[in-house]
Amino acid sequence: MLSLIINNVVIFAGIGGFLALLLVIADYFLANYGDCQIDINGKKKLTVKGGSSLLNSLAENNVFIPSACGGRGTCGLCKVKVKEGGGPLLPTERPYLDADELKNGVRLSCQVKVKEDIIISIPEALFSIRKFKGVVETIIDYTYDTKGLVIKLIEPAKIDFKAGQYIQLESKKYAKSKQVVSRAYSMANCPENNNVVELIIRRVPDGIMTTFVHDYLKKDDELYLTGPYGDFFIRDTDTDMIFVAGGSGMAPFKGIIEDLYKKESKQHIVYFFGARTTEDLFLVDEMKEYEKKMADFTFIPVISQPEKSPDWKGESGYIPPLLDKHIRDPKNTEGYLCGSPALIASTEKKMKELGIENVYYDSFG
């Protein structure tokens, strides 16, 4: 009996072992692409080990391409122009590329594997994106489901950015998630305070990152983030500006308004901040302060469910119908929107109807 069992085990293990060896050898020869070179904008050359994705190879060398899905090919943010190398276009990339991009060799860097020398071009601004180590300095409760986070930067100790840009915050493993994810959040501080990163994070039920921040993160915890990313910042013009935010869409505007105040802007600015009830409103007093301190700034909080807040005296309902009254000259007005895709879509539509041509937005979608 014993010999039978031993026989079984030996045969089984022997065959399994042989096959495993075969696969290891095959893996060594087939999945080994040697050292490959990545040429960026003809200026920088990186030598990387072939076989991993372009996105990761670049990140390992401190060149950070925006990515919200962590390389799963679902966000379409990690676009890079590949001039040579990179292999054929994959079916996973096609849905995220329009005709122009296809013609110009734009690819999703998380899907392209570096298997040969490759020449790419990326916007110069991406070079200034860094990975930062920071420590949580303050956690503020803005509302029952929205927290403010102030992260003091340690290494590097300063971040150069434009008000309105965003960073990618990296979570840590915690009791309910064995996964580390990174998510994009707008910075709520102004560029003058460049030794901290301030974020406004609203809880998403069962969200890996927001649960981490809301339930597990404590003062003095260390965190990693990369940035700055994005082109949601105010253009250098003298036009009137209309800001529209919903919920944690407050973040970029808080930074932008602080920045405009410091620059002593005289522009005509109206800021609509939408929330469901008065309980969802925050930073109202701070914004009202700016109304007093700035030349021509109006802050209008709007709640969409006034029946739940009977004491509310301000504006209520939807934001788009309220815009008319505050636009002096549509041709000379820019719109900046940040919030849910629905809010952005309806506001943008209204703004275009009113004749505002330049509408910029940052969607949570």
Partner 1 sequence: MDINPLVIFMAAIFTSNILLTNFLGMCSYLSVSKEIESSAGLGMAVFFVLTLTSAINYIVYHYILVPMDLIYLQYIIFIIVIAAFVQLTELIIERFSPVLYYTLGIFLPLITVNCAILGVSLFMIIRQYSFIQAVLYGAGSGIGWLLAILALAGIRNRLKEKYLPQGMNNAAISLIITGIMALAFIGFSGVAIIQ
The residue ranges that bind ligand FES (CB under 6 A) are: 67-69, 71, 73-78, 108, 110
Which of partner 1, ligand FES, none binds 71 (CB below 5-8 Å, type-dependent)? ligand FES
Question: Which of 37, 77, 83, 87 lies at the binding interface for partner 1 (CB under 8 A)?
Answer: 87
Question: Which member of 1, 2, 5, 22 binds partner 1 (CB under 8 A)?
Answer: 22
Q: Which of 5, 30, 99, 175 binds partner 1 (CB under 8 A)?
A: 30
Q: Does 84 bind partner 1 (CB under 8 A)?
A: no
The one of ligand FES, partner 1, none whose footprint includes residue 76, by CB under 5 to 8 A per kind, is ligand FES
- As given in the structure block, the two tokens for residue 123 are 């916007």
Residue 13 binds partner 1 (CB under 8 A): no
Nearer to partner 1, 115 or 131 (CB): 115
31 binds partner 1 (CB under 8 A): yes
Q: Kindly state whether residue 17 participates in binding partner 1, applying the rule CB under 8 A.
A: no
The owner of tokens 């970029």 is 252
CB of 101 to ligand FES, least distance (A): 13
Residue 295 interacting with partner 1 (CB under 8 A):
no
Given ligand FES, partner 1, none, residue 122, with its beta carbon under 5 to 8 Å by kind, binds: none
How long is the chain? 365
11 is in the binding site of which of ligand FES, partner 1, none (Cβ under 5 to 8 A by kind)?
partner 1
Which of 1, 34, 43, 91 is the binder for partner 1 (CB under 8 A)? 91
- The entry of ligand FES, partner 1, none that residue 31 binds, CB within 5 to 8 Å by partner kind: partner 1
Nearer residue to ligand FES within complex by CB, 73 or 339? 73
Give me the residues that bind partner 1 (CB under 8 A), please. Answer: 7-8, 11-12, 15-16, 19-20, 22-23, 26-27, 30-31, 87-92, 113
